Every structure is written in structure tokens, then in C-alpha cells.
Amino acid sequence: DRQVYTFGGGVKHDDPRAKDKVITGGKGANLAEMAGIGLPVPPGFTITTEECVKYLAEGGDFSDQLRADVAEALTHIETTVGKTFGNPADPLLVSVRSGARVSMPGMMDTVLNLGLNDETVEGLAATSGDDRFAWDSYRRFVQMYSDVVLGVEHHLFEEALEIAKEDNGYLNDVEMSADDWRRIVKEYKGIVSAELGREFPQDVHEQLWGAIQAVFDSWDSDRAKVYRRLNDIPGDWGTAVNVQAMVFGNMGDTSATGVAFTRDPATGEKAYYGEWLVNAQGEDVVAGIRTPQYLTRAARERAGAKPLSMEEAMPEAYAELAAVFELLEKHYRDMQDIEFTVQQNKLWMLQTRSGKRTAKAALKMAVDMVEEGLIDEATAIKRVDPMALDQLLHPTLDPKAPRDVLGKGLPASPGAASGVIVLDADTAEKRAEMGEAVVLVRVETSPEDIHGMHAAKGILTARGGMTSHAAVVARGMGRPCVSGASGLSIDMKSRTLRMGTRELKEGDLITLDGATGEIMAGEVPTIEPELAGDFATLMEWADRHRRMKVRTNAETPADCRMARQFGAEGIGLCRTEHMFFDAGRISAVRQMILAEDEAGRRAALAKLLPEQRADFQAIFEVMAGLPVTIRLLDPPLHEFLPHGDAEFAELSETIGIGVDTLKRRADELHEFNPMLGHRGCRLGITFPEIYEMQARAIFEAACDVAAASGEAIVPEVMIPLVATRRELQILKKVVDDAAAKVFAEQGRTLDYLVGTMIELPRAALMAGEIAEEAKFFSFGTNDLTQTTLGVSRDDAARFLSPYVEKGIYPRDPFVSLDIEGVGQLVQLGAERGRATYAGIKLGICGEHGGDPASIAFCETVGLDYVSASPYRVPIARLAAAQAAL
Ligand code: PEP
Ligand code: MG
């Protein structure tokens, strides 16, 4: 296979490798493509990524074959341009740029103006008729080459230039004359020989091979490695090298350089968008030395800016550029991000690629392009990153607003929230009732904080990971949350908190960015989400293309309603324990837990029955016609216990049992490892009357709502933390008996299903047997991850990020399913369950049900549905469609 591909100057390749990003990199492939469709591309050649991989693996010298191929390709440039590399009379200059398979902005190296030396600079001066331009180009080259290829520190050159300007009393580079630049070049070369003990290379071929080598080496630079890790880019791809004839945007006022997008990358609007600078080279736009100008007249007028747009200042070159925009969009069928140069009124294209865009712009462009007939629905669905929808569903911080960042935690639940700091749930509720916007700040949250979390605009915790209580509950409620902010300490005595060096007190304003995890002092302005229009259109398309259903994890009527608005097709998980914390009923719950015997428990449960029935009625009403999975009580009982003397005294008063007795019972309930303790179905096995009450409440509510609404209500009763078939068998009987009793009393029956969560490894392994008792499985991948990895979901935040940084797990396994490991258990559970009962309904209700990569996996396993927190429902709809396409 060839390792060097030429482009421009009318070359035609039959070899598909020339335009294959994998081989010639993104930049090289697109340059070849642009040249192929007849666009003005300066001629050049690309050395493949394969050559880079080989070079990095074998090290040492380049092969004779490569040297011969490069020499031949260089001749191609020379004949096309009519100049010769190294010719003192009329030299060819080239740029040398990296170009990986995907763009890694600014991560690797570029050298411009290569081919200049003490002789060719004179030739450039003569042919361009511009001494100053030639010497400025030479000094730019010496500086760039020395920095990138020779490893001489950049600042040494900057300092020399600063001193020269000072000595001359200049403020700006433009004041430098040809002679000034000539002196600077001399000084720069002196710096190089002083630093390296050898002269700056005058041989242009040595320059070229040095630059090629530097580009290859830059693939393994520290910053490139970090970038790859952050963006999941494999280290074995390598980069291509693009060598291309230089064109100059800095040849006076008929020359210019710029970057442009074929549509607005921020809003998606179909309008050219870009910046340009007259008489400048590419780095000048990027480096921000001069302020770039607007590309179009409309944009300039809208901004009320004075300096002429390119459309006005260079109408001909602009018209040519606009025609190129149209052509490129039609060709690539996507918004393009373009770099161009105008050399003495002649337009040259230096790069094109699919442009990065905001979520809003992605959505608008995808929908617009389908309407324009540019792409089909399936392509539109694939174009939008599901996670980016998050940005659209919540109010977000105004990106233009200044931020006074105090610290950072995990981006546990998206959206932006500003409010006064409050340090406990009761205060949060009180101050919110007074109409204040509050942000609840806790070391960590527990189920008892729910009312405060609900009252708060946002939640910040010092501990806990992405599936900590705070994170799960906040996502469910759609509250922005930053969790595990390890730099945060709270002093409850003085009611102050400390972040880094800053101290704040309760009542001070802060702002959370749940999308980035940033915590800011004061209030940062926000912008509201837009759910109609393009969003609704794309969602409708997604629904047409997906196979899996999307349900929601919700337990309040308000959340259920919101989830339905977001398109939820049922409830996949209603966690009943959250209902036990309501102010009106917690004392009955405590009475039940602390009771000495079954009779005592039953007395307390009788008080809870009407409350639970009302809970379920409200949910069935909102979800009428849709499946509702209700999970019976799951958490360890001691989570509901009173805290502190005051609460014990209050409870003692309410239920008429002495404080000492209560405290003794509470002590008896203490567990060393409650997450593996007396929880889940183990509660049902030991205290069946609890599940009996819950089942009765479910069936009574279902009968009531079915009678009143005429809709079919099909409750799905779910037993948590099952490990064995026998557990499920015993508890299924409790549920069936309750159903039979209620149906007899009410004189009506309805369909219902009893099923189980698969959230322990044993349950997945024994799924074949368990399926004999279950009508459905719901994979509880939070606990399944916790128990398979042996990693506590509530403590993971402290050590999991180094794990991810070191690549031990590719991503936080509580956020994105460990497909390799935990995924096997899901796969196995599904297969074994289906082998026993082909019609078994399979779903997932762990946090992974809202994660696109995990959803794609669920599609491959053939699950019937995923269930996600309400705000994740649209994300899941889109991800499920992408997975099915
Ligand atoms: C799970 O374990 O995945 C699950 C959904 O249940 P919970 O998060 O309530 O333990
Ligand atoms: Mg669980």
C-alpha cells in the first residue's frame, strides 16, 4: 500500500485510501476530497497514519521507500506551483501539519513557512517585492520551528521580540520594519545556537524531515495523551502528516485569512458565520493578537461593528467563498468548519471538517437538513448526541455570564441553580416556603432530606458519587446537583462552609452548574429550555425508529406527570420507600419498625395503608393506560429511625412507648453493613405483613382507579434484592393472597404481574430458576454493579476517579454500565430467564437506563424497555433509536 498521497494540481486517485480518514487522517482525507471536487486547494501530500504508527513502534530512521515517495510528492508540488523547494531565486515554501483520524484541536504540532533560510528569504523578498513580508515570514518560521521541532522554549523568542519593540518604542508588531525583522532573525538564530550548541538548520530537506518527525512525535506528547484519554481516542491510531504549498494571507491588503462555519454553530441558524483578518496569517486569528472581523455584512450590522466585513471588503473572494460553502454542505451533507486564505485576491481552501456545535444547534441543523432534503430522518437521529439534550431540558447558565468559581464536584444532575446556602433540610423547606431560592448544602444526603431537596433549587454535597442518594434523588426530581465536592467542608456549629481558601456562611448566594460540577459564588444568570419545535420533531422521529420502550423511575405524581410530558411510556421503578418519609406518616413508619412484635407492626401498618393507597391512586391516575412497576420496600429499616433525643422524645409522645424502649429497639436494628444486611426481600421474608400491606394498597388503588377511569390498570409488583427462587416464591404468594382478598372484597379482578429485580449476581446466575416465579425481570444495575464489583455505591466517589484516570475502568461504572463485566450478568440473566419463560418482560431500572452507551448495550441484549429518571427520558428515547438504527 502507498504511504504518501498527493492532492491538488489536478491529481486523481483511484485508491480509496487517499480519502479514508483512517489512513490519511481527517485533514488529509478532506483536502483530497476538496481537491477532487475541484475546489482551490494548494497542492500537497499526506503521509499516512500507518507510517506514523510504524515510526512510533520501530523508532529510528525513515525507510528509503518513504524518502523516495516524499521526494516524488514534493516534485508534484513544485511542478504545480512552478517553484522549487530550496531555490534561492524563487523558493517553494510549505506548511507541515498533523491530522489524526478525529480532530484534536491544538493538541499536535504545525510548522508554517518551511523552506526559508538565509538565501531563500532573499528570493522570497524579490519575488514578492516585499522585504518586510519575507523577513517577517522567516522570523515566524525560525520561532515556530525552533519551538516545535528543536524544543527551544517559546518564551525566549517572545522576550527577545518584546525587548526589540521596547528599544524601538513600538507598541505593536506592525510597526516592525523589514530591517527590524532582519535583526530579530539574527537574534533568534543566536538564541537557537546558544540553547542547542548548533546552528539553526539551513538545509531545507533537513527542515522538512525534522518537521515530519516532530509531527509524528507529537502524537505521543503529554497533552495529546491527556486529550485522548478525556475523549476516548485510542492511542494506536497515530497521526498523518500533511505537507502543503504555503499560501499567504499576509501579502498586503488584497490578502486575508479566516475561519468560517456554513451555519451558526451556536444557534444552528442557516447563515454563514465566521471571522477573518485582512493581511494576516492563520495563527493571528487563533492567537488573538488582532481582533478578527465579521465575515458577513449582516453579522457586522447586527453587532453594530465598524470594520468592514469580508463580504463588503473583498466581494469577489467572498462570493467565491460562499459558493464553496454551498458546495461543501451539499457534498458532506453536514455543517462544515472551514479554514481559508486569500492570497492577492485568490481564494484557497486549507481545511474543512464537520463542525462542532451546541446541542441547540445540533438539533436545529438536523431537523432543518431533513426538511431541506439534505439528509434522511435516520441520519438526523444519529447526528444528535443524546447526552447533549441534557443541556436543552434544564435551564442552563448563560455561557456569556462571568463565573466566580469556588470549586468543583461531580456533575451529578444537570441544570443550573442559584440560591442561598442552607445547611439542613428543614431550613431549606422553611426558607423556600418564604419564597427564597435555596441551595441545600450537605456533607451527604439521606432519605430524610427529601423534603429539603424538593424545596431546594439545587443540591450540593461534599461526599457521594454519581449514584449516591443525593445524585439519584436529584436526577429523579430534576434538581441540579453537584455531589462529591471533595474541597468542601461544612461547619454546622458556626453554620459556615469552606471551599478552598474561601469561606461562606448560610444565607450567602451560590450557583451550581450540574452539567460541569462547577460551584460559583453569587448568582449567574440562566436561560430557559425550549421543548417544542425542533426538539419535539426529532423526538417524534426517534420514537418511530426505536424498538425498546422507555419508562421512567418516579414516585410522585408530579414527577410522573413530568415524565409523561417527556414521553415516558410507563413507570419502570416506583421506589416506595420514598413515600415513607412524608411528614404525616414517618411516625407510623417508625412505630412499625420499632414494634416488638407482629401485632405491634400490624397496628402501625394499618395507619399506613390508607396513605399508601392514596399514593398509588394518584400515580395510577396520572399513568392510566400505561404499565406501572411498583417495588415493595427495599432499604434497611434503620434508615427510617429517629435521630437525636428530640426526635425520640417526639416519637415516644406520639405512639406512647417509652424513650428507653425505643432506643433499645433502635440499637438492636444497628447493622455493620446495611447495604448487604436486612433489606430488600429479606424484610418481606421476616416481616411479610409489610409487603402484605403494600400489596393490598396497590390492588385497592388499582381497583378504585380502574373503576373510576374505565382504563385498564395493570400493576407490576416488583420484589427487590432477590437471590433465590424460594424467596420470590414465598413473597409472590404474599402478593397473590393480598390480590385475591382485595378482588373478593371489591367484586372485581384485574390483571397484574409479579416480578423481581435482578440486582445480585446470584439472581443473574439463577435467572433460569427464578423465572419460574417471575413474569418480569428488571435489572437493578446499581446494586448489581455494587455487588459484582464489590464497590460500595455510596463510597465509590472517594476512589473511583483515580480508577478512571488510570484506565482501570473506562468510565465510572455507576454511570455507564461495565459492559464487559456486569454486562455479562445482564446478558446471562436475560438469556436464562427467557429460556425458562419466553414471554418474560425484561427491563433495566438502574441509573444506566438513562445512559446512551448502556442503552445501546440493552438493545443488543434485546431488553423490552429501559427506565430512566424523568429528565433522562428524552435522552433514552433518542439513544434507543440510535441503538436500533
Ligand atoms: C438498582 O439497584 O439498580 C435499583 C434500581 O434499585 P435502587 O437504586 O433503589 O437500589
Ligand atoms: Mg437496588
Name the residue range of residue 696's domain: 546-636+671-884
Tell whether ligand 1 has an atom less than 6 A from the beta carbon of residue 782: yes
Tell whether ligand 1 has an atom less than 6 A from the beta carbon of residue 615: no
Length of the chain: 885
Query: Both 310 and 237 in a single domain?
Result: no
Query: Both 216 and 274 in a single domain?
Result: no
What DSSP element (H or E) covers 867?
A: strand 865-868
Query: Both 353 and 405 in a single domain?
Result: no
Q: Is 878 exposed, middle or buried (0-12, 13-18, 19+ CB in 10 A)?
A: buried
Tell whether ligand 1 has an atom less than 6 A from the beta carbon of residue 413: no
CA 793–ligand 2 middle distance (angstroms): 10
Which ligand is nearest the CA of 846, by number? 1
Query: Both 280 and 177 in a single domain?
Result: no
Mind telling me the catalytic residues?
A: 469, 845
Residue nearest to atom 10 of ligand 1 (CA): 783
287 pLDDT more than 60: no
CA 634–ligand 1 middle distance (angstroms): 9
CA 782–ligand 1 middle distance (angstroms): 5
Query: Both 316 and 439 in a single domain?
Result: no
Pick the range with the lowest mean pLDDT from 532-536, 537-541, 688-692.
532-536
Whether the Cβ atoms of residue 41 and residue 47 lie closer than 8 Å to each other: no
Structure-block grid coordinates of residue 257: 485569512
Tell whether ligand 1 has an atom less than 6 A from the beta carbon of residue 780: yes
Query: Both 494 and 628 in a single domain?
Result: no
Tell whether ligand 1 has an atom less than 6 A from the beta carbon of residue 573: yes
* pLDDT tens digits for range 233-268: 888 899 999 999 999 998 889 999 998 999 988 789
Residue nearest to atom 8 of ligand 1 (CA): 782
Q: Where are the alpha helices (DSSP H) in 270-358?
A: 282-287, 297-303, 310-313, 315-332
The ipTM estimated for the assembled molecules is 0.99
Pick the range with the lowest mean pLDDT from 328-342, 449-463, 546-560, 838-852.
449-463
Give the number of domains in the chain. Answer: 4
Band (pLDDT 50/70/90 cuts) for residue 467 is low
Whether the Cβ atoms of residue 752 and residue 716 lie closer than 8 Å to each other: yes
**Ligand 1 pocket test: which of 575, 576, 577, 683 has the largest number of ligand atoms within 8 Å of its C-beta?**
575
Cα separation, 94 vs 86, in Å, equals 11
Does residue 654 fall inside a structural domain?
Answer: no
Given this model, what pLDDT does residue 306 score? 87
* pLDDT tens digits for range 313-368: 999 999 999 999 999 999 999 999 999 999 999 999 999 999 888 788 899 999 99
CA 411, distance to chain mean position in Å, is 10
For the residues 853-867, what does the mean pLDDT come to?
98
**Ligand 1 pocket test: which of 551, 815, 845 has the largest number of ligand atoms within 8 Å of its C-beta?**
845
Given this model, what pLDDT does residue 731 score? 98
Bridge partners (DSSP) of residue 245 are 94
Query: Both 179 and 311 in a single domain?
Result: no
Which ligand is nearest the CA of 817, by number? 1
Bridge partners (DSSP) of residue 440 are 422, 459
pTM: 0.80
275 pLDDT more than 60: yes
Dihedral, CA of residue 69, residue 74, residue 79 and residue 83, to nearest 10: -160
Does residue 659 fall inside a structural domain?
Answer: no
Atom of ligand 1 nearest to the CA of 782: 3
Query: Both 350 and 430 in a single domain?
Result: no
Query: Both 297 and 184 in a single domain?
Result: no
Does residue 55 fall inside a structural domain?
Answer: yes
Does residue 663 fall inside a structural domain?
Answer: no
Residue nearest to atom 1 of ligand 1 (CA): 780
CATH of the domain at 782: 3.20.20.60
Phi and psi based region of residue 398 (left: phi greater than 0; alpha: psi -120 to 50; beta: remaining): beta
For the residues 730-735, what does the mean pLDDT come to?
98
Which ligand is nearest the CA of 573, by number? 1
Does residue 652 fall inside a structural domain?
Answer: no
Residue the block writes with cell 498521497: 5
Pick the range with the lowest mean pLDDT from 218-227, 264-273, 743-752.
218-227
Residue nearest to atom 6 of ligand 1 (CA): 780
Query: Both 452 and 581 in a single domain?
Result: no
Whether the Cβ atoms of residue 289 and residue 171 lie closer than 8 Å to each other: no
**Ligand 1 pocket test: which of 551, 719, 757 has the largest number of ligand atoms within 8 Å of its C-beta?**
757
Query: Both 858 and 797 in a single domain?
Result: yes
Cα separation, 13 vs 35, in Å, equals 11
- What Å distances lie between residue 807 and 575, 791, 813, CA to CA? 34, 17, 12
CA 793–ligand 1 middle distance (angstroms): 10
Structure-block grid coordinates of residue 33: 476530497
For the residues 183-190, what does the mean pLDDT come to?
97
- The closest of 828, 854, 816 to 767, measured between CA atoms, is 828
Tell whether ligand 1 has an atom less than 6 A from the beta carbon of residue 793: no
Does residue 381 fall inside a structural domain?
Answer: no
Given this model, what pLDDT does residue 810 score? 84
Structure-block grid coordinates of residue 465: 458519587
Tell whether ligand 1 has an atom less than 6 A from the beta carbon of residue 564: no
Cα separation, 221 vs 2, in Å, equals 27
Whether the Cβ atoms of residue 517 and residue 482 lie closer than 8 Å to each other: yes
Tell whether ligand 1 has an atom less than 6 A from the beta carbon of residue 759: yes
Whether the Cβ atoms of residue 227 and residue 107 lie closer than 8 Å to each other: yes
Band (pLDDT 50/70/90 cuts) for residue 435 is confident
Does residue 703 fall inside a structural domain?
Answer: yes
Tell whether ligand 1 has an atom less than 6 A from the beta carbon of residue 845: yes
- The closest of 549, 556, 524 to 458, measured between CA atoms, is 524
Residue nearest to atom 4 of ligand 1 (CA): 780
CATH of the domain at 271: 3.30.470.20
Does residue 662 fall inside a structural domain?
Answer: no
Given this model, what pLDDT does residue 621 score? 96
CATH of the domain at 64: 3.30.1490.20
What DSSP element (H or E) covers 8?
A: none
How many other CB atoms are there within 10 angstroms of residue 501's CB atom? 7
For the residues 472-476, what does the mean pLDDT come to?
76
CATH of the domain at 455: 3.50.30.10
Strands 91-92 and 518-521: unpaired
Band (pLDDT 50/70/90 cuts) for residue 744 is very high
Query: Both 209 and 261 in a single domain?
Result: no
Given this model, what pLDDT does residue 578 score? 84
How many other CB atoms are there within 10 angstroms of residue 72's CB atom? 12
Given this model, what pLDDT does residue 387 score? 87
805 pLDDT more than 90: no
Atom of ligand 1 nearest to the CA of 778: 5
CA 775, distance to chain mean position in Å, is 36
Between residues 400 and 32, the one the model is more confident about:
32
Which of 199, 215, 245 marks a domain boundary?
A: 245
CA 759–ligand 2 middle distance (angstroms): 6
Residue the block writes with cell 523516495: 68
